[in-house]
Amino acid sequence: MSIVQSSARALSVSATGYRRISEAARSCLIPAGAASRAAPVTWDPKKTAIVIVDMWDDHHCVSAARRVVEMAPHMNRTINAARQRGVLIVHAPSDCAKYYKDAPQRQPIESAPSANAAVKFQWNYFNPEHEGPLAEHLEKGGCSCDTPQPCSPSAIVWTRQIDTLEMGEGDAVSSDGQEIYNLFEQRGIDNVIIMGVHTNRCVLGRPFGIRQMVYLGKNVVLCRDLTDSYHRDPGKHFEGLDLIIGHVEKYWCPTITSASISGAPAFRFKQAAR
């Protein structure tokens, strides 16, 4: 996806994947397995939102926490560029509602009227009716350190979103799928760009993640360079991340890179570049 300078400040989308994306009379359909193909389509920024999934201030997995710290400045640059063009930014750090209860970014969420949805808001597990098989270790997740044993037991150690990500005056914060949907319906949001962690777990499964947004009929893309995975495969973490992104492209939604939003080079983890 790239942003073109025009009076309409439109988002010109070039997405890799298979699902249909439509905006007004323009649409594209990229066949399954066509991972190297990209098709352009224009999105209205006022009908577009970015959802930032679980970019917490800490994590019980040392490597997961370190990669969030590394990725966050690049994500912040991307959301700043999108915000300047009128894209709605939704911060969705799960388990942190208490921390943000008095934040001004709660006002848009709390003022949006309740909207009826055709599907239930819930954690969305692997769906064999919609997607092909995914290796068990990629589906269930786990410590993503390269050590023979997990670095620590699973535990909630986060309290808020990482401070590197700025919350703008017009942004919203919620980790409730119904609340986010209410705001989207009020604002006429049809297009959703999802970024954050972790692709194989929360990014796909949360009640505001990829599966849920697809079920709701939104036009969804994953920002593939601003995400990470959480799975056990010592020494092969980034190979697994590539497989998960490929799974998303094949069965759920197209992907884009942050370069098409910020105009800066796409982000790449230092370890992945070795």
CA pair distance 213, 226, nearest whole angstrom: 18
Residue 269 has pLDDT above 90, yes or no: yes
Q: Which of 17, 52, 62, 48 is nearest to 203 (CA)?
A: 52
CA pair distance 194, 171, nearest whole angstrom: 15
pLDDT tens readout for residues 218-244 = 999 999 999 999 999 999 999 999 999
Tell me what the mean pLDDT of segment 8-34 comes to.
47
pLDDT tens readout for residues 198-207 = 999 999 999 9
Residue 22 has pLDDT above 60, yes or no: no
Superfamily for domain range 45-124+157-274: Isochorismatase-like (3.40.50.850)
pLDDT, position 28 = 31
Q: Residue 21 forms beta bridges with which residues? A: 28
pLDDT, position 210 = 98
pLDDT averaged over every residue in the chain: 88
Q: Which of 19, 176, 10, 157 is nearest to 94 (CA)?
A: 176
pLDDT, position 9 = 56
Question: DSSP letters along 191-223, please?
Answer: EEEEEEE-IIIIIHHSTTSHHHHHHTT-EEEEE
pLDDT, position 200 = 96
Domain extents for the chain?
45-124+157-274
CA pair distance 131, 138, nearest whole angstrom: 14
CA pair distance 151, 132, nearest whole angstrom: 31
Query: β-pairing, 219-228 with 255-256?
Result: parallel
pLDDT, position 15 = 72
By mean pLDDT, which of 150-154, 178-182, 262-266 is the weakest? 150-154
pLDDT tens readout for residues 84-102 = 999 999 999 999 999 999 9
Helix (H) or strand (E) holding 11: strand 11-15
Residue 30 has pLDDT above 50, yes or no: no
Residue 145 has pLDDT above 70, yes or no: yes
pLDDT, position 182 = 98
164 by Cβ neighbours in 10 Å (0-12 / 13-18 / 19+) ranks as middle
Strand arrangement of the beta sheet that strand 11-15 belongs to: 2-3, 11-15, 39-43
266 by Cβ neighbours in 10 Å (0-12 / 13-18 / 19+) ranks as middle
